Amino acid sequence: MRQTADRIFVRFNSRRTVRHFSTDSLPEEVVRKCIQAAGTAPSGAHKQPWHFCLITDSVIKKRIRVAAEKEEYENYHGRMNDEWLDDLKPFGTDYNKPHLEEAPALIVVFRQSWTPDEQSVSGRSQNYYVQESVGIASGMLLAALNECGIASLTHTPSPMGFLAEILGRPSSEKAYLLIPIGYPAEGCEVPDIQRKEWDKLATVYGPQTAN
C-alpha cells in the first residue's frame, strides 16, 4: 500500500497543465477508455449527471476556438478584475487560444441538471449534487489521461453556452469544462509551480491526548 501510494503521488505530482500541443493524433480507444473510467465516479443517488463529448473534427474545433476567443476577449478586457489579471500574469495567458485547434482532440464535459423522463409528469427526472458529482468525474478523467501519458488543459471560457449550441446538446445539459488533450509539443514549457506543503494542505484530527 505504501509503495502504491508513493507511486501515485509521484505520478500525480508530475502532472502539469499544457497549453502547447503536438498535432499528432491520439489513439481514440485509449481516450474512450479514459472517459469510461471517469464515468465510474460516484454521484448523487447514482444519477450519473454527466455527458462527455469527444471532438476531433477540425471544423468543429475551429468553431469552438472562434467562439471561445470571443468570450475570452471580453474576460481579459473588462470581466476580470485587476487582481485576477495579476494572478494570471506569471502564466502568460491571454484571449488567444490556438491550442483549441492544435490539440488533436477536445473533450467537453457537460453537467446534466435534469434527465428527460417520459414517465414523469414534468417530463424530467431530478438529479442531485450535480456540480459535486461532475467535478469528481472530471478529476478522475484528468487523472486517467495523465496515467496514459496524455496532457490536458482545463479551460472554462465563461460563459460557455456556445458549446451546447455548437454541439447540438439538449437544454438539460450545461457545459462544465472544455478540455484540450494531446501530447505536449516538442519544446513545450510548463510553469515551475509549487504545490502546498503538508501543513498547509491538510489537518489531521486524531485521538485527543488527555492532559
CATH at residue 94: 3.40.109.10
124 three-state secondary structure: strand
For residue 6, tell me if it sits in a domain: no
| Ramachandran class of 125: left when φ > 0, alpha when ψ lies in -120 to 50, beta otherwise | beta
Q: How far apart are alpha carbons 156 and 139 in whole angstroms?
A: 15
Q: How far apart are alpha carbons 53 and 51 in whole angstroms?
A: 7
For residue 80, tell me if it sits in a domain: yes
Alpha-carbon torsion 136, 167, 103, 147, what sign?
positive
For residue 112, tell me if it sits in a domain: yes
For residue 202, tell me if it sits in a domain: no
Percent pLDDT > 70 in the chain is: 99
Question: Which residue range forms the structural domain that includes residue 153?
Answer: 32-186
pLDDT for res 123 = 85
- Number of structural domains (the chain) is 1
Instruction: Find the radius of gyration of the CA atoms of the chain.
Output: 19
Query: How many CB atoms are located within 10 Å of the residue 153 CB?
Result: 22
pLDDT for res 211 = 52
50, 39 contact by CB (below 8 A):
yes
pLDDT for res 210 = 52
At 105, phi and psi to the nearest 5? -150, 150
For residue 25, tell me if it sits in a domain: no
CA–centroid distance for 49 within its chain: 15
For residue 210, tell me if it sits in a domain: no
| Ramachandran class of 18: left when φ > 0, alpha when ψ lies in -120 to 50, beta otherwise | beta
CA-closest candidate to residue 114, choices 105, 125, 103? 125
185 three-state secondary structure: coil
User: Which residues of the chain register pLDDT less than 70?
Assistant: 209-211
For residue 177, tell me if it sits in a domain: yes
For residue 151, tell me if it sits in a domain: yes
